[in-house]
Structure 1
Amino acid sequence: MKTILAFDLDDTLYDELTYVDSGFAAVARFLEQEKLAGFAETYAFMQTRLAGGRGRIFDDLLLHFGSYSRRNVRRCLTAYRLHKPAIQLYPEAVACLARFKAYPLYIVTDGNKVVQYNKIIALGLPALVDRYLITHRFGVHHAKPSPYCFTRICAWEKVEPAQVVYVADNPRKDFIGIKPLGFRTIRVLTGQHRSVEIPEEYQAEQQIVSLNALDDALASLFRRREPHLCKR
């Protein structure tokens, strides 16, 4: 049986907080270039303020440094979203994608279209996977937990949902929409959601501590050992 592997992006293939850090540095550089505040001070403020969440962080930043205006908030947000991120794949993600390169590989990720595209390019993923799907390109209503992008994968690959495995980290939205349709699911306990406990209907069929354990999880999922699940 042909098997398709699909992966989430943020906190599944790389550490999302490294993107946040890269974005803060871009905003701090912008503010320094505009002579609104110094790089070191603004960067440090954002790092400290992050403990309270990302909401309104640029509002608070500009208020603190006496440069607040709605226009400046928008300019900070633009600097954050359009910057070229300094991020890297988890080492285990590099090894995993190489190990499964004979399989059809997909990425399905939510988020701002430009932001997610810049991440994908910075991580070198177009050379490592067959196709990446940014759900917001199809409309926000097709973001997870919508199964829309997953059903498209089935159509492209001419397979049933039971032949598509989604590997992701956020149980709040990653699995609840696709499990009832028969898609197979594996949760990787990495990133900001690794300690989240949630009702059974939201959980994946399998849990792994890192992508290094994906081989065994797939073998368990399909009740047989590698090699190998049928490739292309």
Structure 2
Amino acid sequence: MIRAVVFDLDDTLISEKKYIKSGYQYISKILSDRYDKDAHELYKLLFKLFNVSSQNVFNRILDKMEISYTKNDIMEMVEEYRGHLPDIEFFDDVLPCLKELKKKNIKIGVITDGYANAQRQKLKAIKATDYFDEIIVTDELGREYWKPHPKAFEMMKEKLNVEFNEMIYVGDNPEKDFYISSIYPIKTIRVYREGVYSNKSYLDNIRENHSIHRLSELILEEQIRY
């Protein structure tokens, strides 16, 4: 019997690409004010650079603008990006799913990787504490406890007062979201989104127990009972 469903955040509950767009719009405004450039053109350039490579985008845009900078300048931009309150929302299938799970008296939680300040701002933007019983940001435990480390799952088990075999973990990233099932008897479900992480390889070829394309499939009676 399933008593708890725990979700990943990025590209499971919210769009990581929308978050990136929000951050780039924020940074574009800062650069526009600082260097008297057109914010919309800067935003387009940032995204063009990102689509070529997600690495060192802020360095590369300053290079394109022929502006000299220091490592501290880049770190300040990174902190501005991570610290901004993003313009994001849940995918449209999330709230109906959470509502149905609550109706079934199933506890719900979030385990998310990523830099703590950025993840907390995302969670604040979607008012996550209004919907979830427990939320664990793994970066607050230490970088070494990001998934696939089991510590957050062990903590979630205690916080929700359930057994591992009463938990489902729903995620999207093959590289780290499903490996937990090789450590503990947690059922895993992959939700297929057009996300940033969908092309990753499975860690040690540990695959999800089930896959879905919309969270509405999760609330079917047979999914909750297996």
TM-score, normalised with respect to structure 2: 0.91
Using the TM superposition, give the Cα deviation of residue 5 of structure 1 relative to its aligned residue in structure 2, in angstroms.
0.7
CA separation of 1:133 and 1:199: change in aligned 2, threshold 3 A: closer
CA distance in 1, matches of 2:68, 2:123: 32
Using the TM superposition, give the Cα deviation of residue 154 of structure 1 relative to its aligned residue in structure 2, in angstroms.
1.5
CA separation of 1:139 and 1:76: change in aligned 2, threshold 3 A: same
Q: How does 1:51-130 map to 2 (within 5 A)?
A: 51-70=51-70, 71-101=72-102, 102-130=105-133
CA distance in 2, matches of 1:28, 1:200: 40
Q: How does 1:172-211 map to 2 (within 5 A)?
A: 172-190=175-193, 191-194=195-198, 198=202, 201-211=205-215
CA separation of 1:2 and 1:213: change in aligned 2, threshold 3 A: closer
CA distance in 1, matches of 2:202, 2:142: 27
Whether the aligned pair in 1 keeps the contact of 2:136 and 2:156 (CA below 8 Å) is no
CA distance in 1, matches of 2:120, 2:204: 32
- Three-state SS of the structure 2 residue aligned to 1:187 is strand
Whether the aligned pair in 2 keeps the contact of 1:3 and 1:103 (CA below 8 Å) is yes
Equivalent residue for 2:138?
Answer: 135
Give the unaligned 5+ runs of structure 2: none
Equivalent residue for 2:150?
Answer: 147
CA separation of 1:87 and 1:24: change in aligned 2, threshold 3 A: same
CA distance in 2, matches of 1:40, 1:162: 50
CA separation of 1:76 and 1:200: change in aligned 2, threshold 3 A: closer
* 172-181 or 130-139, larger mean C-alpha shift: 172-181
Using the TM superposition, give the Cα deviation of residue 99 of structure 1 relative to its aligned residue in structure 2, in angstroms.
1.5
Residue identity in the other structure for 1:91: D
Whether the aligned pair in 1 keeps the contact of 2:145 and 2:152 (CA below 8 Å) is yes
TM-score, normalised with respect to structure 1: 0.89
1:159 counterpart = 2:162: yes
CA distance in 1, matches of 2:80, 2:160: 38
Whether the aligned pair in 2 keeps the contact of 1:108 and 1:132 (CA below 8 Å) is yes
Residue identity in the other structure for 1:28: S
- Three-state SS of the structure 2 residue aligned to 1:25 is helix
Aligned residues: 222
Whether the aligned pair in 1 keeps the contact of 2:2 and 2:224 (CA below 8 Å) is no
CA distance in 1, matches of 2:34, 2:181: 46
* 58-67 or 30-39, larger mean C-alpha shift: 30-39
Whether the aligned pair in 2 keeps the contact of 1:36 and 1:67 (CA below 8 Å) is no
Equivalent residue for 2:29?
Answer: 29
Equivalent residue for 2:218?
Answer: 214
Q: How does 1:221-232 map to 2 (within 5 A)?
A: 222-223=225-226
Whether the aligned pair in 2 keeps the contact of 1:8 and 1:109 (CA below 8 Å) is yes
Whether the aligned pair in 2 keeps the contact of 1:189 and 1:195 (CA below 8 Å) is no
Give the unaligned 5+ runs of structure 1: 224-232
